[in-house]
Amino acid sequence: MSQFNSDSSASKDLIKGALDVDPWLEPFSPQLINRQLQFKEWHESLLKSEKSLDSFASSYEKYGVHADWNTKQITVTQYVPDVKEVSIVGDFNHWNPNSHKLGQANNFGLWSLTIDAVDGEFVIPHDSRYKISMLLPSGERIYRLDPWVIRATPSTENTLYEGRFWNPNPSDVYKRKTPRPKNKDGIKIYEAHVGISTPEAKVGSYKNFTTKILPIIHRLGYNTIQLMAVMEHAYYASFGYQVTNFFAASSRFGSPEDLKELIDEAHRLGISVLLDVVHSHSSKNVEDGLNMFNGTDHYLFHGGAKGNHDLWDSRLFNYSNYETLRFLLSNLKFYIEFYGFDGFRFDGVTSMLYKHHGLSYGFSGDYNEYFNPDLVDNDAITYLILAHKLLDEISIREDITLTTIAEDVSGMPTLCLPVNKGGIGFDYRLSMAIPDMWIKILKHLTDEQWDLGLIVHTLTNRRYGEKCISYCESHDQALVGDKTIAFWLMDKEMYTNMSVLTELTPVIDRGISLHKLIRLLTFSLGGEGYLTFEGNEFGHPEWLDFPRVGNDESYHYARRQFNLIEDDLLRYKFLFEFDAAMQHLDTKYNILLSQQAYVSLKHEGDKVLVFERNGLLFIFNFNSTQSFPDYKVGVESPGVYQIVLNSDDPKFGGHGRIEEVTSTGEKLQFFTNNDPWNNRANSLFVYIPSRTAIVLQLKDRV
């Protein structure tokens, strides 16, 4: 696409919303306008040729191999440029490339075939193997998996995956029973991987997740699940990030119908389900992936060195290619319509946004880093804007809420502004600096060296008007080679002293206390949404390591031991219950949906932190040795306050040093004084034990 004249006032209107949010973007108006005009040119082109963006993204209904249960005909449509012949082969025709040849549907590489029924039956049986065969100009014949295949399974004969014709009897197709939930509280994400969601040393299933894990997530109070590693990946240890078959849900966990049931049951429980979508790159696999599909290195990808991601050893999409856009946009709509997903967490967005892919690039926050045409990939940005335009259209048409989250470490401005305000369209970005901060603190500092000012700055340093998902740790920190917060705090004694029958040692006492405080602080101060990785919320005692050559293909660490929270003799239950109380606190008081907190106190000597958010008063004492009776804190609204969450409660593994109920059986109350303190209009006195956090709510205004 070409560059555009961006001087007109009409063009300036395209980014007015972005400039209203951030006037410092004004010098970069030409670049912002060019992004929007490039998107508009693509959008108008697609409207002209495809009638609508929605129709363009419905190509998954035509491309690939499809069955008509009324006529028992099978239609095959494939985009295969630069070849002489295209055939469909499989068990049904004894893999004979001369048996079922496709004809050229147009001059742009489109091929098609209709296979009539024989004796009133489909010629290709359900779940039978098939491939696309192509004759190259060189005379070489190659065999590849259908790029649009919706089921691929491991071969019993070699290490490759095989394409399957998924065409179950309509009576066996899972039918949704529950409409999508419309959650009104803040987004609380449970990041999960179906395969590891079992205490057993094996690959977990969609069925297991549905029956055993969904109730746990519901009990905790999370209203969103982010499912990882769903898009088919031949190498299990890639954690789903080396996608081989983009339309196929991983068969190692079960059937497509099982996944539909999982999502439907989540909806019944009021839980939305996001897909961890990988559109930033693709596996280099040739025999069972997209790479070299038609014998060239530029099928949907950039050719040459530009099409390779050196660090990830993978292929990079050409977002300026018409058919690449068809493939990727259709992929998004497919997962929404076919499976019922409620949105996406886009992986590797930094790699997409920049020509350097973020490799060895230290982002300083200088706006020139985000708008330099030599650094930024505007074609990728155009794709992302088109994707959000598509999702907006689907949301309006279906009256549903679709959510998108960007994994971006760069801090690209306007990434999380709506398209109609001149933004790229994401709803949230992951606050990736927060987990890095916590790990550095736990790794390098003693408790006395914690800098509350730096912690608060990191938690609150986010772009105005662009929403963030805060988290202490995700799957990244749980992987072997890294360490979870629980491990940093307690790994020396996690295997020996987590039983309530053993003495509460200083290591375990500190670990349990800080595990709760770090999470509550991140949750309440760090963003407009919150995320945890499964198991980390209760301090899972082991890292995550998938079976591979380096560990003798062991599944021992590729599992989550949910049985630990059900064991009444173990202390993991305390962390689990605290995490649940934290999630339900937001459900009741809408913390995440409210404005950013007002921090009234960061006392480095006392290690006390105080802030207010949406009518709640948060008080943290990170001091390792000192408890403070009658500690004076400021608060804006006068009245009577009561405790609604207390990390020192014995049910959370605390010491019960705060008597929340008086001797007369009434709840402990805190009365404000008309005495301004720390820039707040009123003040009150509280008892805050060491390594404790309490949350107070105004019960009666005076």
Give the pairing of strands 682-688 and 628-635: antiparallel
Confidence of residue 540 (pLDDT cuts 50, 70, 90): very high
Confidence of residue 661 (pLDDT cuts 50, 70, 90): confident
pLDDT in tens, 412-435: 999 999 999 999 999 999 999 999
**526 closest CA partner among 466, 470, 465, 596:** 470
Across the chain, what does the average pLDDT equal?
Answer: 96
Confidence of residue 8 (pLDDT cuts 50, 70, 90): low
SS3 599: strand
Measure CA 433 to chain center. Answer: 16
* Bridge partners, 531 (sequence order): 189
Query: Angle at Cα 485 formed by Cα 471 and Cα 488, nearest 5°?
Result: 155
Give yes or no for residue 491 having a pLDDT over 50: yes
Give the pairing of strands 616-621 and 692-701: antiparallel
Contacts within 8 Å (CB) and 24+ apart, 72-75: 72/117, 72/120, 72/121, 72/122, 73/114, 73/115, 73/116, 73/117, 74/114, 74/115, 74/122, 74/123, 74/124, 75/112, 75/113, 75/114, 75/115
Whole-angstrom Cα distance, residue 382 to residue 402? 19
The domains of the chain, with CATH numbers, are: 59-172 (2.60.40.10), 186-278+431-593 (3.20.20.80), 598-701 (2.60.40.1180)
Predicted pLDDT at 666: 87
Average of per-residue pLDDT across 145-149 = 98
Residue 126's region, left for phi above 0, alpha for psi from -120 to 50, else beta, is beta
What would the 3-class secondary structure string for 3-41 be? CCCCCCHHHHHCCHHHHHHCHHHHHHHHHHHHHHHHHHH
Which amino acids are annotated catalytic? 347, 407
Confidence of residue 683 (pLDDT cuts 50, 70, 90): very high
* Bridge partners, 641 (sequence order): 670, 698
Predicted pLDDT at 148: 98
User: Is the separation of the CB atoms in 387 and 401 below 8 Å?
Assistant: no
Whole-angstrom Cα distance, residue 53 to residue 55? 5
Predicted pLDDT at 9: 65
Task: Provide the token pair at 13.
Answer: 């209107």
Task: Provide the token pair at 348.
Answer: 């590797």
Give yes or no for residue 3 having a pLDDT over 70: no
pLDDT in tens, 367-382: 999 999 999 999 999 9
**196 closest CA partner among 177, 181, 209:** 209
- The answer to which of 45-54, 253-262, 355-364, 632-641 has the lowest mean pLDDT is 355-364
Average of per-residue pLDDT across 591-615 = 97
Average of per-residue pLDDT across 556-577 = 97
Predicted pLDDT at 662: 80
Confidence of residue 599 (pLDDT cuts 50, 70, 90): very high
- The answer to which of 2-16, 369-383, 429-443, 593-607 has the lowest mean pLDDT is 2-16
Residue type for 100, please?
Answer: H
Predicted pLDDT at 515: 98
Whole-angstrom Cα distance, residue 645 to residue 19? 40
Give yes or no for residue 393 having a pLDDT over 80: yes
Whole-angstrom Cα distance, residue 640 to residue 701? 6
Whole-angstrom Cα distance, residue 461 to residue 558? 35
Whole-angstrom Cα distance, residue 243 to residue 262? 21
- The answer to which of 4-18, 215-229, 556-570 has the lowest mean pLDDT is 4-18
- Token pair 């789903």: residue: 240
pLDDT in tens, 177-220: 999 999 889 999 999 999 999 999 999 999 999 999 999 999 99
**239 closest CA partner among 230, 226, 249:** 230
Average of per-residue pLDDT across 638-658 = 97
Within 8 A by CB and 6+ apart from 645, the residues are 520, 581, 582, 585, 693, 694, 695
**332 closest CA partner among 318, 344, 348:** 344
- With pLDDT > 70 as the criterion, what percentage of the chain qualifies? 98
Predicted pLDDT at 2: 45
Confidence of residue 471 (pLDDT cuts 50, 70, 90): very high
Average of per-residue pLDDT across 78-107 = 96
- Token pair 């309006």: residue: 396
Within 8 A by CB and 6+ apart from 570, the residues are 498, 499, 500, 564
Whole-angstrom Cα distance, residue 222 to residue 272? 9
User: Is the separation of the CB atoms in 327 and 300 below 8 Å?
Assistant: yes
Whole-angstrom Cα distance, residue 231 to residue 499? 39
pLDDT in tens, 293-331: 999 999 999 999 999 999 999 999 999 999 999 999 999
User: Is the separation of the CB atoms in 401 and 223 below 8 Å?
Assistant: no
Looking from the CA of 591 toward its CB, the CA atoms found within 13 Å total 30
Average of per-residue pLDDT across 666-693 = 96
Rg from Cα positions in the chain: 27
How many other C-beta atoms are found inside a 10 Å radius of the C-beta of residue 584? 16
